[in-house]
Copies of this chain bind each other. A is one copy, B any other.
Amino acid sequence: MTGTETIIELGVLRVLTLENETDVALHGRVIEKHFPHVSTRSRCIPNHPNGIPSAEAEVDALPYILELGTEMGAQVDALAISCALDPGVSKLDERLDVPVIGAGASVAGSALARGRNVGTLGLEDGTPSVIKDILGDYLQATETVKGAETTNYLTTPEGRAATGDAITRLIEAGCDVVAPSCTGLTTSGVLTNVQRRADIPIVDPVVAMGAMAATAARPGGQTTDQTSTRHEHP
């Protein structure tokens, strides 16, 4: 670390209304911990204390996401929508001058870089369509953490055990990588715990999103020196 690196300013938009600034910033802090050259600014949409628990809620939340995302996008190098449904990502990516990255596409794409038999892990039934679409035939199995009514539950011994059991079921179903399909699993901190015990990679959706955003932002217009005249294939 030379201390002279360009810092990437990353906006992190939460689709869950939280009162406490520490809570709002949690996903951003996870990204900063993994990518110390990324500086995050987190904000959450209003009026959605329960997040996006249904398709109807997504429709209702979308205008708030687009408005807040447009505002945040003017002040950052890249914008991350920290929800695996990727709500508003396509529209904001068209509208804004900076890259807009969603947790859903990020976790799916990152999982495909690690394995070809992907298991998704959610807090309720089903896998977001953006993840299903990207994985296609490589979606090997889908599991749900039983009893996870709140992310708080995930941090209890029972919740950790239930998460570990779900991952065991994915491994038994032939999965060689896990793509958690809900950023609430990051919020709970349970993924670190289960990764230590699992034999296959478990991709953190928020970290994956941070990685994609850091890649997309390309600060400082990097130029690689041309030092080789040989032809490297491919």
Q: Is the CB of A230 within 8 A of B189?
A: no
**Chain B residues, CB < 8 A from A230:** 16, 18, 49-51, 150-151
Of the four ranges (under 10, 10 to 19, 20 to 34, 35 or more), the interface on chain A belongs to 35 or more
Q: Is the CB of A36 within 8 A of B34?
A: no
Query: Considering the chains assembled together, what is the distance between the CA atoms of A123 and B229 in angstroms?
Result: 14
A212 is an interface residue with CB less than 8 A from chain B: yes
Binding site for B on A (CB under 8 A): 1-3, 5, 7, 15-16, 18, 20, 22-23, 26, 29-30, 33-37, 49-54, 83-85, 99, 101-102, 105-106, 108-114, 116, 122-124, 126, 128, 133-134, 136-138, 148-152, 155, 181-184, 186-189, 192-193, 195-196, 201, 203-204, 207-208, 211-212, 214-216, 218, 221-234
Q: Which 8 A-B pairs have the closest CB atoms?
A: A109-B113, A184-B232, A182-B234, A109-B109, A189-B224, A152-B229, A211-B211, A109-B112
